[in-house]
Amino acid sequence: MQNRAVLVTGGGSGIGRAVVLLCAERRARVAVVDLDAERSRAVAGEAQACGAPAALGICCDVSVESDIERAFATSESQLGPTHGVFANAGKDLSGMAHELPLSLWEHVLATNLTGVYLTCKHAMRSMLSAGKGGSIVCTSSPAAFVGFAAGGAGAYSASKGGISALVRCLAVDYAKHGIRVNAVVPGSTETPLMWANVPEAQVPEMRQRICSEVPLGRLADPKEPARAVVWLLSEEASYVTGSHLVCDGGVLAKAAVSV
């Protein structure tokens, strides 16, 4: 990945930040794209301290196409042709379907699904223009395959299921151009998003409960799914496309009933 340009959405925190820093350690040029301008700049600074030859922070709302288009143009002008993209920005807002306002449903899908589509769209344009292929990794979720026991995750689950379907289609459509498209499926990971819908006072109890339910007995460190992403971005995964790399501590392998 040395001197190749990698763009990461949602790069200001969590798994996105971990991917940025791992790419930086491999001497990639990195564009940190995040809705929070201050965090994107801060992580870009961390990336340079970790060894990135160049890094920049870009403020961007992934649900707005003009923002995404500008982000890619800025990245290409300063870092060169885009070789790797991690389409990761997302939100987890929940509610039971009969109570969920349409505006909230639309907001979740606009960020999680449309945002990933727009990121992939402009990544494809960039890679096709450069004519050198590339690798795109999208963040899916166990929620794309099973219903969460806690319930109320219809909008989030629908968005992640859409991402998984999109990944398969794009992988087939763009394979002839040397562009690989895959998904990572992180499980419970110690990130701000993990606790987005949990009152602060209940976080310790909820963390303990989740750890007891995950076969490996703990939450993931953000670096763990990030390593899976970086592998998919790298040439080590050169024959992998249209796949889902599950990094969930065994959750999807576990039956829900104790028999």
pTM of the entire structure? Answer: 0.94
pLDDT tens-digit profile of 16-45? 999 999 999 999 999 999 999 999 999 999
Mean of the per-residue pLDDT values of the chain: 94
Q: What is the pLDDT of residue 106?
A: 97
Q: What is the 3-state secondary structure (H, E, C) of 100-144?
A: CCHHHHHHHHHHHHHHHHHHHHHHHHHHHHHCCCEEEEEECCHHH
Full set of structural domains in the chain with CATH: 5-247 (3.40.50.720)
Residue 259 binned pLDDT confidence (cut-offs 50, 70, 90): low
pLDDT(161) > 80 = yes
Q: Out of 46-50, 214-218, 222-226, which region has the weakest mean confidence (pLDDT)? A: 214-218
Confidence of residue 77 (pLDDT cuts 50, 70, 90): very high
Mean pLDDT of 188-195: 82
Give the Cα separation of 160 and 162 in Å (integer).
5
Whether 174 is catalytic: no
* Most confident of the ranges 124-133, 146-155, 209-218: 124-133
Structure tokens at 147: 């219903």
- Per-residue confidence (pLDDT) for residue 52, from 0 to 100: 98
Q: How far apart are CA 32 and CA 259, in angstroms?
A: 46
Task: Round the CA-based radius of gyration of the chain to a whole number and report it.
Answer: 18
The one catalytic residue in 117, 156, 174, 239 is 156
Q: HSE of 149 in the Cβ direction (CA atoms, 13 Å)?
A: 10
